[in-house]
Amino acid sequence: MTKKQKIYTYKSMKPLVQRIRDDLNGGGQNFVLIYAYNSTGKTRLSMEFKNTWSKKKNTKRDTLYFNAFTEDLFTWDNDLENDTQRVLRLNSSSRFFSGLHELEMENRIRPFLHRYVDFDFKIDYEEWKIRFSREVQIQMRGNPKIETVENIKISRGEENIFIWCFFLSIAQLSIDGAEAYKWVKYFYIDDPISSLDDNNTIAIGSDLAQLLIRGKDRIKAVISSHHSLFFNLMCSELKRQEHKQYFLHLHKNNKTHMYTLQATAETPFFHHVAMLSELQKAAQTGQLYTYHFNTMRSILEKTAVFFGMNDFSDSIKGVDDEVLYARALNLLSHGAYSLFEPREMSDDNKELFKKILTAFLNRYRFDLPELIIDSQQGNYS
């Protein structure tokens, strides 16, 4: 029998961050891995972790982070007037770029970058901008010739990889004890794989794990993600290291918010199972909102793909009222149901949703984990 994992509950981010820091300090962990859906607050959590360094001890900051704010330190100047001198500009006021002149960043970034892409770059340290180039093959009188195309605009996926490799080079400098980054005691890495295909996701995750393992005696790390493949990969790569794995959930009840942090033991959470557990809890409590139809349809689509079916409705084929359920999901999952402005279902739709969910769970019989403690139970930190 699987051991039931403890669930920690918090009314705000501060005690949640303290829990993570305690794991890395007194808890003796080198890494903390967190799985959480979008809109749960992963980016806010990373910033709260960064800002908790020291108000009590009046010390300098201690966290080098990678998140949406990191990506915003790089902005495109597309030369709209002439459409020729396209450059990526750096925010020179950020401490992220400390000491770039002396650190020969091109030679540090390229070994990472050329594992994933085929373009090159040059940093202008005086004007804080980066130019990109790529070698292309052209035909000259029937003979192939390699030509370098300058000032190119790289794709969004390539841009994300470049920024990630920039971060990796700085992380390596931190691990190696470079003077400009001696203040770094922790890495907080939030969703580094946006806009990447699965092959690059696997490559980036593996390279990151090896870097973190090499530097574990100097710098500890927190990694959060909504991407199940990346999360499961990191769990696998770091399984022999001292680490903890959590599932983070944001529970909204009327006007109050509650964060639940559940340990996932040795087995990574598969997000569709966690989603089903949430839907079951919502159905049991009657706190069903219109966007839950979107979530239910998404689960049916993933099930259909897994079993090689042609349509999401095939995953409930053969259950009683299968046509009604398929039509309801098709109709009710296409409304303007915002997660940020949730509307409670009507009583009739609640009953219909419960019937669809029950029919699906009776057919596939998932062993669902307990994810959420009711707000009336347990103690809040």
Digit-coded pLDDT (tens) for 69-87: 888 899 998 877 777 788 9
Mean predicted confidence (pLDDT) in 123-138: 89
Q: What is the pLDDT of residue 74?
A: 92
Q: What CATH number does residue 21 fall under?
A: 3.40.50
CA 30 to chain CA centroid, Å, is: 19
Residue 73 neighbours by CB distance under 10 Å: 16
pLDDT of 346 over the 90 cut: no
- What are the residues whose beta carbons fall under 8 Å from the beta carbon of 249, sequence distance 6 or more? 36, 37, 40, 259, 260, 262, 274, 278, 371, 372
Enumerate the β-bridge partners of residue 262.
7, 247
Q: Determine, yes or no, domain membership for 283.
A: yes
Residue 11 lies in a domain: yes
Q: Is 379 helix (H, G, I), strand (E, B) or coil?
A: coil
Specify whether 167 is located in the same domain as 88: yes
Is 313 within the bounds of a domain? yes
Amino acid at the residue 119? F
Of 67, 87, 69, nearest in space to 77 by CA = 87
Residues in Cβ contact with 28 at an 8 Å cutoff, skipping those fewer than 6 apart = 242
E strand residue ranges, the chain: 7-10, 31-36, 63-66, 74-77, 87-90, 119-124, 129-140, 143-149, 186-190, 220-225, 243-253, 256-263
* Domain assignment of residue 380, yes or no: no
Residue 46 lies in a domain: yes
Q: Number of folded domains in the chain?
A: 3
Rounded mean pLDDT, 212-226: 93
Distance of alpha carbon 156 from alpha carbon 8, whole angstroms: 38
Note whether 194 and 252 are same-domain residues: yes
Of 139, 162, 183, the one marking the end of a domain is 183
Q: Which of 145, 165, 183 is the last residue of a domain?
A: 183
Of 137, 164, 183, the last residue of a domain is 183
DSSP code for 370: P
Taking only the tens place, the pLDDT of each residue in 100-118 is 777 888 899 999 999 888 8
Dihedral over alpha carbons 151, 155, 161, 163 (to 10 degrees): 60
**Both 20 and 38 in a single domain?**
yes
Query: What is the per-residue pLDDT for 372?
Result: 46
Q: Is residue 369 part of a domain?
A: no
Distance separating alpha carbons of residues 362 and 360, to the nearest angstrom: 5
Can you give the residue range of the structural domain that contains 133?
A: 67-183
Beta partners for residue 148, in sequence order:
135
Q: Do residues 255 and 276 share a domain?
A: no
In-domain check, residue 373: no
Identify the residue with better confidence: 374 or 141.
141
In angstroms, the CA 344 to CA 350 distance is: 9
Same domain for 220 and 324 = no
Name the more confident of 129 and 83. 129
Q: Report the pLDDT value the prediction gives residue 54, as an integer from 0 to 100.
A: 52
36 and 126 in a single domain? The answer is no
The answer to whether 273 touches 253, Cβ cutoff 8 Å, is no
User: pLDDT by residue (tens digit) across 88-103?
Assistant: 999 988 878 877 777 8
- What value, to the nearest 5°, has the Cα angle with vertex 225 and ends 222 and 230? 100
164 and 95 in a common domain: yes
Query: pTM here?
Result: 0.70
